[in-house]
Amino acid sequence: QALAEHTGINAAGELPGLPEDEMTQLNLPLKGDYCPGCGSATLLHVEGCKKCYECGYSEC
């Protein structure tokens, strides 16, 4: 219970947030590098190479 109060997670294990219709109205720009292997936004530049920490893809 204390952890749920601290993190804001409800009894269903979900974070409270905006209703779906309000979330789609935000129209935030997408930024970041997406992995061509898995599509995740975890593609980082490490030691001069692009590496995905989700699937292990590397451009070196």
If one compares 26 and 46, the residue with the highest pLDDT of the two is: 46
Average pLDDT of the residues in 41-46 = 85
**pLDDT (average), residues 21-44:** 71
What pLDDT is attached to residue 53? 86
Residue with the bigger pLDDT between 3 and 46: it is 46
Burial 42-58 (b: 16+ CB within 10 A, else e): bbeeeeeeebbeeeebe
Distance CA 23, CA 9 (A): 18
Stretch 1-29: mean pLDDT, rounded? 57
The tally of CA atoms less than 13 A away on the side-chain side of residue 51 is: 8
CA distance 5 to 41: 29
Indicate the average pLDDT of the chain: 71
